[in-house]
Structure 1
Amino acid sequence: MFSKRCRSTPLASLEPTMHRFVELCVDMRKGRTAKGELMQYKNIAQNNKGAIEAVITRFVQLAGQKVRAAVRVDLDDLEASKTPESILPGAVSGDQSTDRTDRTRVTPWLKFLWESYRTSLKTLKNNARLDQTITQQAFKFCLKHNRKVELRRLYETLRLHLSNVA
């Protein structure tokens, strides 16, 4: 996204472009693309911590909104489709359709949200204030969704950041 010409562009004009870019990356679930461009934007906005904080905060917020929307849609579908007549055949046959819809709708967004937390932590590893906020959000995410593997990875990431500071 950023060519050599864009690096001399004032941040005031790049920030709205980055906000829109982040929105598109979240809509299309392009975490790796967002990661690369966030790192480049961080390098461009080295002296302006507020600009990168705003973009990364927006990135995590949008990913969180997508997870909440997927969970809400999944719950609405479940409530609409559950009737006594529909529950009985599923219980007898052992149908796991609710499990299947959870895997197809909610899990990809949960994985994307986790990826957005990791991207944010990697981008902000030298910014203690926002790094702490993102870390707290990531801990809450792991607890809320019972994500033990992600919690272990979060510990490893934080341990690595701490060792780099020391």
Structure 2
Amino acid sequence: MSLGRPVWQATRRFLQEILADNNPTLRDNVELRRQAFVPLNTAKMHLPASIGDYTDFYASKEHASNVGIMFRGKENALMPNWIHLPVGYHGRSSSIVVSGTDLRRPNGQRLPGKGQPPVFGPSVKIDFELEMAFLIGVGNNLGEPIPIEQANDHIFARDIQGEHLNINPSFT
């Protein structure tokens, strides 16, 4: 990814060419196909890159409000500056895993009810939200912005994850 957009484009063109129906290189070479491909039932997912860091933004008003209610109450749920610039925070990159990875329900302190002391234990709700991810292939120098016109030269890949739901899952 750090080699830049010209290398990304050349690699994509090569893969499209070699995988095309009318290209005999792989199509007609059983041994090369055996070396190049892994049977789907034995394939193992991997993270596409070492993720050194990430920033998460409260880009949805509803999500920002839901989180704000948890920390500041309903009256002060949305921070005043949110409507001008969505709030971002530093995320823990070690929490990024491959799809399908079994997850352990997080433990923490919570209030079981009004007037009751806090208890420690597994979470009782899991929050799913819409997430959009960008893998940055070529970064920028510290303090130098990337003009929007040059974004395609820096964004290697992007993806959109699932919907925002508050659920009480049945697993523990």
TM-score between both structures, scaled by the size of structure 2: 0.23
Q: Which has the higher helix share?
A: 1
Structure having the higher Rg? 2
Q: Which has the higher strand share?
A: 2
TM-score between both structures, scaled by the size of structure 1: 0.24
